Structure 1
Amino acid sequence: MNVMMNLLVGVQMLAALAMIGLILLQHGKGADMGAAFGSGSAGSLFGASGSANFLSRTTAALAVVFFGCTLGLAYLGHSRPAGGDSLLERAATQAPAAPAAAPVAPASEIPAGASQKPAAAPSTGAAAGQPAGAKAPASGSADQIPNK
């Protein structure tokens, strides 16, 4: 089945590229007016009717091939097993269950002698471990660099 999908993708890509080329080669509706004044050569290569018949029929045939390949790829892609061939598809179908969270001990089971440190407060003055009689430094003096 993988060979068939690769073949269909290849044919679809070639049909798409050929359609792009043929569409770019075709004249627009306004190009016929320029040919009436002698600037175009409509009957040079493809006969008196010009290239419109040949190019438009070939483009229509390539469009049928392109849509046929698209339908074939959609059918083959839909009939695949649920696991799929890619790693992402397999990972999505075989995702492991989320691990259980570690059990948290209730507050009644915490030992009474457990030491808990208070949150650190900003250190200024006596709270910073200075003796009670020491003065706190002037504001901003700790941030300044002393002059030599």
Structure 2
Amino acid sequence: MIYFVIAVHVVVCLFLIGVVLLQQGKSADLAGAFGGQGSQTAFGPRGAANLLTKLTTWCAVIFMITSITLTVMMQKHSSTHSVLEGTKTTTSAPAKK
């Protein structure tokens, strides 16, 4: 089961990278190069969310869910619960004058 979640996690990660790189920036038009917003709307020229932004949102949600799932599964799979559980503790004596 862990290997399946890792495979889904890696595929979603690569897909998320591709989708983010394909998106057009908010001020990607010619007016954005000179500081203008490109239209006279209050919040800029961005309209309704298109397919790429919806895919980005869903990929991010799946990425976070698989990350949390992998963390929980690996915590249950490991026998120790602390990183420092098996280390030796040493005590130091104060310096002599």
Give the TM-score range, shorter chain.
0.5 to 0.7
* Unaligned runs of at least 5 residues, structure 2: 32-45, 81-85, 87-97
Greater RCO, 1 or 2 (C-alpha within 8 Å, sep 6+): 2
For structure 1, the residue ranges without an aligned partner over 5 or more in a row are: 36-48, 84-92, 94-148
Q: Which residue of 2 aligns with 1:18?
A: 15
| Aligned equivalent of 1:34 | 30
What letter matches 1:7 in structure 2? F
Partner of 1:53: 50
Instruction: Provide TM-score, normalisation by structure 1.
Output: 0.40
% same residue: 32
Count residues with an aligned counterpart: 68
Shift of 1:81: 4.1
- Shift in Å, 1:34: 2.8
Higher helix share: 2
Question: What residue identity is the alignment partner of 2:27?
Answer: G
What is the RMSD of the two structures over their aligned residues, measured on CA atoms?
2.7
Pair member with larger Rg:
1
Q: Find runs of 4+ consecutive structure 1 residues off by over 3 angstroms.
A: none
